[in-house]
Amino acid sequence: MQVSTEQPDGLVARMRSGDIDAFEEFFITYQRPVYTTALAITRDPFLAEEILQDCFVKAYRARHRLRTDRSPLPWLHRVATNLCYSRIARRRVMIEPITTLISNLVADLASRPDQVVESREIIEVLQRAIDALPPKQQTAVILYYLHGYSLAEAAEIAGCNVGTMKSRVHYALKALRSRLPEEQRAPAGARVSI
Amino acid sequence: MSCKRAQRELLEQFALGEELGSRSGPHLAHLVSCAECRREVGIDRELVENLRRALRERVEGSAPSQASWELVRRRTIDRPARPWTTRVVQWGGMVSAAAAAGTMMFAVVTAPESRFAGTQSPFIASAARRAVPPVDEAGGLSGADSSVYIATQTEPPLPGWPVRPQFSKSAPSRDSDPPITGHMR
């Protein structure tokens, strides 16, 4: 169970030996996925940028402990998600009312069945519902549906087994579905083509 | 095949990307005959598509700024390494502070008038006994330094200092009021 992304050209080994260019290459190679994860969790570009920097500072300090035989990306993702949730926890007071917002929005949409077919509104509800997911389920959804990792790869990044990851994705979907108002759960013409 | 099983396994197929392969025959047959399951599976598939869209929207058009690398570089490569002496001084300071705190705690706990005296370890209790010489049967003080002890005990408190109330655990004298008993009845 290993993330298939290979480490380019002994990058970590060169970083360890004090090659400054290697660290820059390391940053350029991995900044995008780390930033994407941070941004998907926080939805704040400035905070995501801070987390990106903190993550690579940690990587630099821990370069002697990084493994040279495999990609450092799972480790970077894990550090980034931990940083995200520790920052979000500090902003808990600001985050919590979102749950209330979701309930209000869902209730509002449910009361106007003729207008809820708008795809835009469904996406907005989903965005808030993703924010309201527990951190582990949120990470699972982001790794699996945004980054396109397999269940095994996502499980490795999250530090759990495949079954646990599968169940996290499953429960996340159930939670997201329950957030959608009844009318939006059944889009017009939703039929399985067989 | 039950609706519950069909929906669960088809959800895994659509949502989790698991291929049912040769096992898909019964599921498809069930879907043909069950409108409720078709509806449910359609909802799940739609949900997954919308979820992917919602997640893509979160990150679309955003990229880390060009200044990121410079900021990281300043905090890592360009940051001068601290000499070992700095670290020794820093650790030494922390150890000294911890030792001072420990000493103060010990002094408070072993103080003669501390409420901890007599209830702690035998060492602390004996230290408390040494600090307060025992009173003999005749009401005086035993030992050669009793005069010194009396002198210190009879000194008036310094002006501006609060006078500590004196509590006694001795039995009440005969002149005092008898205890009130039975008033709750």
Contacts of B58 in chain A (CB under 8 A): 39-40, 43, 127, 146
- A106 and A58 both lie in a single domain: no
Contacts of A32 in chain B (CB under 8 A): 63-64
- A104 and A170 both lie in a single domain: yes
Contacts of B45 in chain A (CB under 8 A): 190, 192
Cα→Cα distances B112→A46, B163, B165, Å: 59, 17, 16
B68 touches chain A (CB under 8 A): yes
Q: How far is A113 from chain B (nearest CA, A)?
A: 17
Q: What is the DSSP string of A2-24?
A: ---PPPGGGHHHHHHTT-HHHHH
ipTM: 0.76
- A25 and A61 both lie in a single domain: yes
B49-86 pLDDT, tens per residue?
Answer: 889 999 999 888 888 888 888 899 888 888 766 667 77
A130 touches chain B (CB under 8 A): yes
- A74 and A129 both lie in a single domain: no
- A131 and A56 both lie in a single domain: no
Task: Quote the number of domains for chain A.
Answer: 2
Q: SS3 of B135, please?
A: strand
Contacts of A23 in chain B (CB under 8 A): 76-77
Confidence of residue B131 (pLDDT cuts 50, 70, 90): low
Which of the listed residues A92, A125, A144 is the one where a domain comes to its end?
A92
CA atoms of A49 and B64, how far apart (whole Å): 6
Strand segments, DSSP code E, in B68-170 are: none
A91-123 pLDDT, tens per residue?
Answer: 654 444 444 444 444 444 444 555 445 678 888
Give residue A193's pLDDT.
44
Task: Quote the number of domains for chain B.
Answer: 2
A123 touches chain B (CB under 8 A): yes
| CA proximity to B6, closest of B23, B25, B27 | B27
Taking the model in full, what pTM does it have?
Answer: 0.61
Please check the confidence at residue A126 and state whether its pLDDT lies above 70. Answer: yes
Partner residue facing A194 (CB), from B28, B65, B75: B28
Partner residue facing A130 (CB), from B54, B69, B73: B54
- A101 and A84 both lie in a single domain: no
- A72 and A114 both lie in a single domain: no
- B93 and B37 both lie in a single domain: no
Q: Which domain holds residue A12?
A: 8-92
Give a yes or no: residue B166 inside a domain. Answer: no
